[in-house]
Structure 1
Amino acid sequence: MRDYRKRVLEERANLEAALADADDHQCRVLSELLEHNADTEYGRAHSFGAIRSLDDFRKAVPINDYAALAPWIERMAAGESNLLSADDPAVYFTSSGTTGSHKKIPVTPGFMRRTFFPFYYAAWAPLIEHFPDVLDRPDAVLNLKHDPRPTPPTTASGRPHVGASQVDLGTRFGEPLSAEPGTFASWGTLPVPVEENDHLEKAYLRLRLAVESDVRCVIGINPAMVAALPYQLTLWWPRLVKEIRDGTLGGVPYGTPDPERAATLERLADHFGTVRPAHVWPRMRALFFWTTGMASLYLERLREEFGPGVTALPAPVAASEGPVGVALDRHGSAGSLVVTASAYEFLDAESDIRPDSLTLTMNELEPGRDYHVIFSHIGGLYRYAVGDVVRVVDRVRGVPRVEYAGRSTRSDAVGERLRDAQVIRALAEAARATGLDVRNAACRVADRPEGAVAHYEFAVAARDRWSEQETNRFASELDTAIGRESAAYRTARSTGRLGLVTVRRLDGDAFLRDWHARVATGIRPTQVKDRLFRQDHELWERLTGTDPVGEGGTA
């Protein structure tokens, strides 16, 4: 732990120091990736050896998305070398995006050393600096994202194709200190057999073990996983208490029966009328996950579930493809650009991303505005549009500090061009204006008869009841707030191409049931994220209906 703490704080100090020479670091990153990969097939095709500046780079290389690079990546995954990177990938990360597709993100040793590990270690600095007791014991942290696979799937060339949280970074990349907090808890590797894709049962088994521990911190990264935890406690409570009393785990004898702990838990539930994480783990200190995007709607209520004074620390602004920003202090949502990791470019979020789009550098960004992120790094991703939108919060030592604002996906039925971030901010504004509690939300362009005017239909989860008058006022405030966020939406409304939004209030657990139903299909929980735009009719009916399919965790 002493060595781990030293490494984490050193990496944070290095990134902080780099902010003072951010422009030089950006030039150095670009020069290094060009030199390292000049003789690759992609490097030769785009004249890497002749590029001397970012302007040269922009002229020589188009903006890419995954589809543009996929032919190269598939050849690499089949075993060809020296295509995008001079290094052969050691592993391929799966995408944790919301599209349902399983991308193959090539991960080279050079990328891990130069781009990944510095930000990865530094990301834990605010947690271990200000909450050092989370490292006192292996079981002080419930790490929900840790999900090792003993026999991972592989590419045609035999390389593992797994999520970033499923890779043993110590063994694969020679980083023995890289294990995340909580990974050595008794539930880190489940001690009883469970089907590989039965992720709900895995979640139950981990919770069953954690309920007997003095957990101080929960790590989720994906906030939907953390939001599900209070719901799971209630859902699985009778089974949890029974297994603790009987000394079983998933019906298998495990450990020593503990009727005293079971009785204590039953008394807590009887006294409070429900069970919350704060009751089970009264010394909880911190949560670690993305605190923005849809999570911003339910963050405060979620923190209350875990206890008074619990701190929510933001996970890095990052994707499987690479990092963007990392919090170097206790800011609640934003992190500084990782200027030593990638060469960054940006595009105003209102613009469409085209191969020849004119991009901005970090020095041209304005606080309070949203931008598409485009990065290039030594691992073989060049001018890569990751599909995320960030919002610039402020600057630290002249370097933008950014928070995740949402996906770049648009909803565009009649030219309104709505983005996640715009609608999420409008939902928050409508909640403030009406004083109503919003736990989560989704929307779609409502089904309509031929010739009828289109309008957006919102499903909004709330714990308390709303009167018809309150619901109508919320809809009106929401419609106005979306118009303030989006000029295109405002125009569509004023010209009669869109009608007033409608709002359907769902019970407070509706989105949690939906999350469980999606996980029950075999999707890893890290990949089941909050989704705002939901145009699929069948999935919409499942969300807004009452069928609790996929609850899992049954006795």
Structure 2
Amino acid sequence: MNTTRLIGKLFAPRQKALDAYATRAVALQDAVLRRLLSEAAGTEWGKAHQYAGIRSYEDYRRLVPVQTYDDVKPYIERMRHGESDVLWKGQVRWYAKSSGTTNDKSKFIPVSPDGLKRIHYAGGTDCVASYLRNNPDSRFFSGKGLILGGSHAPNYNLKDSLVGDLSAILIQNVNPLVNLIRVPKKEIALLSDFEVKRDRIARSTIGKNVTNLSGVPSWMLSVLRRVLELTGKDSLEQVWPNLEVFFHGGVAFAPYREQYRQLIRSDRMHYVETYNASEGFFGVQTDPTDASMTLMVDYDVFYEFIPMDEFGKADPTVVPLEGVETGKNYAMLISTSCGLWRYLIGDTVRFTRKDPYRFVITGRTKHFINAFGEELIVDNAEKGLEVACAGTGAQIADYTAAPVFMDSDAKCRHQWLIEFAVLPDSTERFARILDRALQQINSDYEAKRYKDITLQPLEVVVARKNLFHDWLKEKGKLGGQHKVPRLSNTREYIDELLRLNR
């Protein structure tokens, strides 16, 4: 008997519920907002912002200001010290640690029991529900899932309260039944030293029947390469013949796609993109023929959006889901059952269609280059690099880019520091193709490159092997959900990396 087909019947109700996204997305979002306001009305935040009297989205927008982490940090600090009913009902004992702000090294995002169940675990369930619908002959549950996680540590020595990578929080709290179909063991999965963990994960899973992978592409790639090193095999299907799907997120998959094709040569292998951040689970690639993700509209997440051409203004336009337009770049705001209210998450998205609402992640509100009016975003960079790789046979391990404001010859340009998994046939040709591709993708960049007047041709600096790994290690950010900033409007990151590039 096909175990997956039998277990898969349990997902049928949820598969049917996902169909409602095509016709009832706005109504589902309205219901989410009402539920969140009702459940938080008795909290300190809810009382201060009159949640009990809110009757419409317009009321909510009028009474609650847009929040950044610096705005809510004082509340979160009190919660971390054990106070209850502050931003969300009850006591929140888990905090997802993520990249910091201008004023702080790290952010600590509350993860409530409600948020765990009705956002993060709901997303994991829907990943499987959607995948099984698209692949009725799957044998997903015939083996185990390799889930790559981070680590956690005590929170202010408060009893049963911890901070750590979101992935570690999910593994620590997962239903015991899931542990029966997950590898590695929890004590390995939660190790803090990634280099030790990578080796132990590889050694402990080689003899298992792994059918599915979940994690950040860059860190999973490191683990899979260690598996091949230890086994002496040429490809993963020689180790795990039933491997069929990788649920990936955290960083764009495009730079790693060709490397995964070389590691996993089976034509039965599937790749499913997810949008699972410390702040919540927001999207799943539900259609394998469409690279965009479906926005998950019935979790405990209410969405709002700021057009990026108004971002940073004193009083920008803010619209709920029904107000978005396709093809437009937006900064995303969320309100959740983890106690984040009209919270600026820092990611930018572009909708590709409605009914259901599908989108792509285009970058970060802080990760862009606009030193000369070129408005280059991560989405542009990823597409340009794909063209350059295709034209030169290159493969990219990691990269970052930043402006050179003026060199000794009074020339301005973009500088790209790229660690190649496979070198291009010519670095100079790679740079020329990338430069032309960016001009075709981004009209502002094209205008600034006109006759080399404002911007000169971009420069590609080849990074030594393991440069980005060593930089992250120096900062204590190996593994988990840590990632390299792709674009920066300053030279803070690239100058640090260039000093190590020797």
TM-score (norm 1): 0.77
Contact 2:303 2:333 in 1 (8 A): yes
Residue type of the alignment partner of 1:206: I
Contact 2:292 2:359 in 1 (8 A): yes
Q: For 1:325, what is the secondary structure of its paired residue?
A: strand
For residues 74-473 of structure 1, the aligned pairs below 5 Å read 74-95=77-98, 101-128=105-132, 130=135, 132-137=138-143, 140-145=144-149, 147=150, 152-155=153-156, 157-158=158-159, 159-167=161-169, 175-177=175-177, 179=178, 182-183=181-182, 185=183, 187-190=184-187, 196-220=191-215, 222-233=216-227, 237=229, 240=230, 265=231, 268=233, 275-290=234-249, 294-331=252-289, 333-341=291-299, 342-353=301-312, 356-395=315-354, 398-408=355-365, 409-432=367-390, 434-440=391-397, 441-446=399-404, 449=407, 452-462=410-420, 465-467=423-425, 470-473=426-429
CA 1:41 to 1:426, structure 2 compared with 1: closer, same or farther past 3 Å? same
Distance 1:295 1:97 in 2: 23
Residue type of the alignment partner of 1:77: R
CA 1:518 to 1:456, structure 2 compared with 1: closer, same or farther past 3 Å? same
Which of structures 1 and 2 has the larger relative contact order (alpha carbons within 8 angstroms, sep 6+)? 1
Contact 1:416 1:489 in 2 (8 A): yes
Q: For 1:399, what is the secondary structure of its paired residue?
A: coil
Distance 1:160 1:331 in 2: 40
Distance 2:191 2:429 in 1: 47
Offset, 1:358: 0.9
CA 1:294 to 1:479, structure 2 compared with 1: closer, same or farther past 3 Å? same
Contact 1:446 1:457 in 2 (8 A): yes
Distance 1:399 1:54 in 2: 21
Q: For 2:433, what is the secondary structure of its paired residue?
A: helix
Aligned to 1:482: 438
Q: For 2:342, what is the secondary structure of its paired residue?
A: strand
Residue type of the alignment partner of 1:474: F
Aligned to 1:533: 487
Distance 1:537 1:479 in 2: 19
Q: For 1:533, what is the secondary structure of its paired residue?
A: coil
Offset, 1:279: 3.8
Distance 2:100 2:287 in 1: 27
Aligned length: 488
CA 1:339 to 1:181, structure 2 compared with 1: closer, same or farther past 3 Å? farther
Offset, 1:224: 0.8
Q: For 2:20, what is the secondary structure of its paired residue?
A: helix
Residue type of the alignment partner of 2:166: A
TM-score (norm 2): 0.84
Larger mean CA deviation between 100-109 and 316-325 belongs to: 100-109
Residue type of the alignment partner of 1:356: D
For residues 33-112 of structure 1, the aligned pairs below 5 Å read 33-95=36-98, 101-112=105-116
Distance 2:190 2:222 in 1: 21
Larger mean CA deviation between 452-461 and 378-387 belongs to: 452-461
Question: Taking every aligned residue pair, what percent have the same amino acid on both sides?
Answer: 24
Larger mean CA deviation between 444-453 and 404-413 belongs to: 444-453
Offset, 1:427: 2.1
Offset, 1:63: 1.6
Deviation digits for residues 312-354 of structure 1 (CA, Å, limit 9, x no counterpart)? 3324213111122223443563332211122211123344245
Q: For 1:389, what is the secondary structure of its paired residue?
A: strand
Deviation digits for residues 413-454 of structure 1 (CA, Å, limit 9, x no counterpart)? 33433321222222223444x354332432222485467222
Contact 1:233 1:276 in 2 (8 A): no
Offset, 1:78: 1.6
Q: For 1:89, what is the secondary structure of its paired residue?
A: coil
Larger mean CA deviation between 99-108 and 384-393 belongs to: 99-108
Offset, 1:525: 0.8
Distance 1:209 1:98 in 2: 37
Residue type of the alignment partner of 1:476: R
CA 1:364 to 1:428, structure 2 compared with 1: closer, same or farther past 3 Å? farther
Aligned to 2:477: 523
Offset, 1:286: 1.9
Question: Which consecutive residues of structure 1, in runs of 5 or more, have no partner in the other structure?
Answer: 241-264, 269-274, 546-555
Offset, 1:513: 5.5
Distance 2:258 2:310 in 1: 32
Offset, 1:13: 3.0
Contact 1:312 1:332 in 2 (8 A): no
Distance 2:382 2:16 in 1: 34
Question: Which consecutive residues of structure 2, in runs of 5 or more, have no partner in the other structure?
Answer: none
Distance 2:10 2:476 in 1: 36
